[in-house]
Amino acid sequence: MGWGDVEPPNVSLATRPDTCFGVVNLSSSRLNETQRKAIASPWFSTTFGLIGLCSNLFALYVLLSSSRKLSSRSRSSFLVFLCGLVVTDFMGLLVTASVIIPYHFIKFNWAEVDPGCHLCNFLGFSMVFFGQCPLLLGATMAGERFFGINHPFSRSTSISKRRAWSIVAMVWGFSCTLGLLPILGLGRYTLQFPGSWCFLTLLPDTGNVVFCLLFALLGVCSVLLSFVFNTVSVVTLCRVYHDREAVQRRRDSEVEMMVQLVGIMVIATICWMPLLIFIIQTTLQQLRSGEGSQLLPGQTQKLLLIYIRMVTWNQILDPWVYILFRRAVLQRVHPGLRARPSLVSLYPVLNPSLRRKL
């Protein structure tokens, strides 16, 4: 996502601010041959995409193998959320790479191939949809584990697989609605520097400002919610594991899920927060300046490209969190870990009669 060439689109369309080609003046970009190859290397972007696709496929295989052996409903529902996350990351890489990688080899002219901006809108929608989904799924998973650990008796049963998939489908539907807003008229998707990808537009008109802030603030809130939920859950686990009655019966399954959730949260924070904060800062600065420019400043274009490249790593690293931080792997690193699950071990101060019933 975001690797491209510097050849300008058709000038007649590129200079029109009402098209998806009129925001970035690619013809003014002057790069030497070394910089051009560094940005537009087709082999680097192809290798980069293949690594991400293979990583997600491997993680999906491991997830499906693990889900067949589980009897715990809480663990099963958590694997459903993880599976939804891996599928989202895989499809995000596949869809965006199917447009960007051919561009590297063919060097097609966007304005000639896509004069109606349909391909650009599709790519921009894909960037928003597959970008927002992992953040929302991370917050959803953190919330589910928060209630599962801190309020295990507030629900009569754990979330079933069908209900978990329904929640994943709701997240996909919400992200799809968000991605369709520019196509429906709230803001617009435009071709971005260096000419290989489309994304939201950081210009100070009302539609673009509203959509940019909506996208960025929603992402920031998702990351913050994940942080709050995961922090409270980790503190709860640490507190009960140091209890005298609970120390002999550890909830290794809970620990495994929380380690994976914290890993997903850390990766999302590192990869996404710079872009989200940059979008908010740029939008507010342009609003305060009151300038009605129809072109993005060159420095803004280049920073946006850097931050988008950072975001792409989220889709590549997410599957490795599950692959590397499974109980089977953790037990090899720390042989003292044992699978001895017990629901009541988290709450050793329960009434004795209730403990006997459980």
Instruction: Give the pLDDT confidence score for residue 290 in this predicted structure.
Output: 65
Does a structural domain hold residue 92?
yes
Q: Is there a domain that residue 121 lies in? A: yes
- 108's CB contacts (< 8 A; 6+ apart) are 102
pLDDT of the residue at 12:
47
In a domain, 208, yes or no: yes
Q: What pLDDT score does 83 carry?
A: 93
Cβ atoms of residues 92 and 130 within 8 Å: yes
d(CA 240, CA 256): 16
In a domain, 186, yes or no: yes
Measured CA to CA, the distance from residue 283 to residue 277 in angstroms comes to 10
Residue 2 lies inside a defined structural domain of this protein: no
CATH number of the CATH domain containing 219: 1.20.1070.10
User: Is 24 inside any structural domain?
Assistant: no
Please indicate, yes or no, if residue 183 is contained in any of the structural domains.
yes
Question: Locate tokens 């890489």: which residue?
Answer: 93
Long-range CB contact pairs, 344-352, < 8 A, 24+:
345/240, 345/245, 345/246, 345/249, 345/250, 345/251, 346/149, 346/152, 346/236, 346/237, 346/240, 346/246, 346/251, 346/254, 347/152, 347/240, 348/240, 348/243, 348/244, 348/245, 348/246, 349/243, 349/245
Nearest to 6 by CA among 188, 177, 192, 174: 192
- Element spanning 192, H or E: strand 189-192
Q: What is the pLDDT of residue 1?
A: 47
pLDDT of residue 23: 73
What is the Cα–Cα distance from 20 to 189, expressed in whole angstroms?
6
Q: What is the pLDDT along the chain (358 residues), one digit of tens a residue?
A: 444 333 444 444 445 556 788 776 555 444 444 455 555 567 777 888 899 999 999 999 888 887 776 555 567 788 899 999 999 999 999 999 998 888 878 877 888 888 889 999 999 999 999 999 999 999 999 998 888 887 765 554 467 888 999 999 999 999 999 999 999 999 999 998 888 889 999 988 889 999 999 999 999 999 999 999 999 999 888 877 665 444 444 466 777 888 899 999 999 999 999 999 999 999 998 888 766 667 778 788 889 989 998 999 999 999 998 888 876 666 666 555 554 444 444 444 444 444 444 4
Q: Per the structure, how many domains does the chain have?
A: 1
Q: What's the confidence (pLDDT) of residue 289?
A: 75
Q: What is the pLDDT of residue 41?
A: 65
Q: Is 186 left (phi over 0), alpha (psi -120 to 50) or beta?
A: beta
- The confidence score (pLDDT) of residue 63 equals 86
pTM of the entire structure? 0.83
pLDDT at residue 314 in the model: 93
Q: Please report whether residue 33 resides in a domain.
A: no
**What integer pLDDT is reported at residue 104 of this predicted model?**
77
Q: Give the span between the Cα atoms of 93 and 130, in whole angstroms.
A: 9
Task: Note down the domain range covering 183.
Answer: 40-334
